[in-house]
Structure 1
């Protein structure tokens, strides 16, 4: 994530300019709030400033920042804490990134080994993010265009039911029970599997689906029996709702549960992580951004995560965007530490996945 060059004045989203001295004091307030989680008083900020300033002057400056919506007083007699808008201004304009410890980089590199399968790599990456940040690590599986068919096999079960055994990306196996329009013999299913393996092995699932859809638009009366059977069983095997499709894994939800005060809050959070469509949609939105993408609090538009922040980055496989990964934690998280971890992990995951496709 690039940070803009620090200027003498910077505009907040309110459109009002903030001079360099005020930026410095605001940065002290935010950094200490992120570290301690308590309201920060004017005297504390004045004592921490690298220039001489009275607590009364700081108090006036903080009142101005409150008028701009950047800070708020939780209680009348308390100090100030940054608002969502204040955190956004801090991250966009004032944050000082901490260089990633070489031991952390080494741990990520050694754990995301090139000999692991894509599924194992995604699981490992999610757990690493959770362990390194003490928050929740989420990683989407590679998008369908990055999932390639290696082999397919069909076994007859009962009437109108067939077991499809699909091998993708070298080692991942998915078993699917599909309902067919007719009953097929074991010999017929073997012939169809041989045909599909010959025609589609090495092709992406997305490309296979499209080709099957194009074939289904043709006059099936003119097709030979093998093609008719192939369309019947293959179209269902590669249906859009296949579990091989875009999904996500997460680890570390217990890291957040300790921060919650009621069982209702716990249930809302767990339901949020279990809502596949909402979480995948949120992470997919991150893939459209360059570098690291941040949603702070309500910015995500996903109500269950309204009190949390998501720091995410896309990962690429063979030069194409394949998925996204990120960390979900309280809005009071050490952004300067978490952002480099997510950024580095995304690059290393993509590098490891490159080798599984080569």
Structure 2
């Protein structure tokens, strides 16, 4: 492609992203700044169409980019500037305050919602794999044969479980079990706790041993139930996207994709091995097989180690430069929040 064809393709993609309407030769002539006749522009557009970079929808005289055209635009014509976290775009103001590191699971859920709200598309994030390491436990008597177990994992996540016991425990007995677990089992994984407790059970008073076993099982259940791997937010935003808002078949497939989450998990795991922002356009990921969808993703790090990936999923007609900055900044802010003091 010569420079003239590149300029016209870049202009066509930018106009189509902005307006959502097929771009005609007259619009290209005005917007490109090139002094070319309408006939010359039509000839160049015909060449671009032969290359599979643009297409003519239905009977319209205008043209729209194909996934291949978007890919060339993103790879060679986009000038997404890195953003300094100290000088965030106005739309990101306040995001840092919303990602408070009080509970990691809350940070993850907030990040997915922020991506959705700011992009107006779908926000997706994989949660860090839970370490399952016991940090602190507390027993509180709720009533006869009912005990509240408060578990704090090593990553600061808090889980509450109500357990039903075969006998009534006094608060002093619960305090004894609390002290035993916190003094002798802190820093162990739940499975290690279970193994050590099984070996020491004969040295404990029977009623305390039973209570501690029930608590360990409750901790195991809490960690497994609270470890959803993929968080999705804003699926309904796709209903308002004009590009496929009337294609009920495509929408149904997309909602199945977000509901099942398995394919999204594969895609985000692949993205976690890349450095920086990665863009999948149309069906080129082989995982999200829809030509009308694109994915802009980036891994996030905790204490220098990649632990998850986040992404915006939306139509191929998206403002890629803005999405790249949004995903990049959010990934860094999530990493900072999760790396903060526990």
- TM-score normalised per structure 2: 0.76
The residue number in structure 1 matching 2:324 is: 339
1:150 aligns with 2:135: yes
SS at match of 1:328: strand
SS at match of 2:33: coil
Cα distance in 2 between the residues matched to 1:109 and 1:163: 33
1:348 aligns with 2:333: yes
SS at match of 2:93: helix
Cα distance in 2 between the residues matched to 1:352 and 1:64: 49
**Structure 2 stretches lacking a partner, 5+ long:** 141-146
1:96 aligns with 2:82: no
How far off is 1:234 after superposition? 5.5
SS at match of 1:245: coil
Cα distance in 2 between the residues matched to 1:240 and 1:300: 35
Conservation of the 8 A alpha-carbon contact between 1:272 and 1:305: no
The residue number in structure 2 matching 1:60 is: 43
The residue number in structure 1 matching 2:6 is: 23
The one of 82, 90, 110 aligned to 2:65: 82
1:125 aligns with 2:107: no
How far off is 1:57 after superposition? 1.8
SS at match of 1:58: helix
How far off is 1:171 after superposition? 5.2
The residue number in structure 1 matching 2:313 is: 328
Cα distance in 2 between the residues matched to 1:247 and 1:119: 11
The residue number in structure 1 matching 2:144 is: none
SS at match of 2:106: helix
Paired residues, what number? 324
Taking a change above 3 Å as real, the CA distance of residues 238 and 282 of structure 1, as seen in their structure-2 partners, is: farther
How far off is 1:97 after superposition? 2.5
The one of 69, 92, 97 aligned to 1:110: 97
How far off is 1:265 after superposition? 4.1
How far off is 1:356 after superposition? 4.2
SS at match of 2:94: helix
Q: 1:199-278 counterparts in 2 under 5 A?
A: 201-202=186-187, 208=189, 238=220, 242-245=224-227, 247-259=229-241, 260-278=245-263
The one of 277, 286, 298 aligned to 1:301: 286
Taking a change above 3 Å as real, the CA distance of residues 78 and 322 of structure 1, as seen in their structure-2 partners, is: same
Conservation of the 8 A alpha-carbon contact between 1:268 and 1:304: no
How far off is 1:224 after superposition? 7.2
The residue number in structure 1 matching 2:265 is: 280
The one of 13, 35, 41 aligned to 2:18: 35
Conservation of the 8 A alpha-carbon contact between 1:98 and 1:337: no
Cα distance in 2 between the residues matched to 1:315 and 1:73: 39
Deviation track 1:315-358 (CA, whole Å, cap 9, x = no partner) reads 1111111211111111111111111011011111111111144x
Conservation of the 8 A alpha-carbon contact between 2:159 and 2:222: no
RMSD across aligned C-alpha pairs, in angstroms? 3.9
Taking a change above 3 Å as real, the CA distance of residues 50 and 167 of structure 1, as seen in their structure-2 partners, is: same
Cα distance in 1 between the residues matched to 2:246 and 2:298: 30
Taking a change above 3 Å as real, the CA distance of residues 262 and 90 of structure 1, as seen in their structure-2 partners, is: closer
Deviates more, 1:286-295 or 1:91-100: 91-100
- TM-score normalised per structure 1: 0.73
Conservation of the 8 A alpha-carbon contact between 2:133 and 2:190: no
How far off is 1:131 after superposition? 1.6
Cα distance in 1 between the residues matched to 2:2 and 2:78: 16
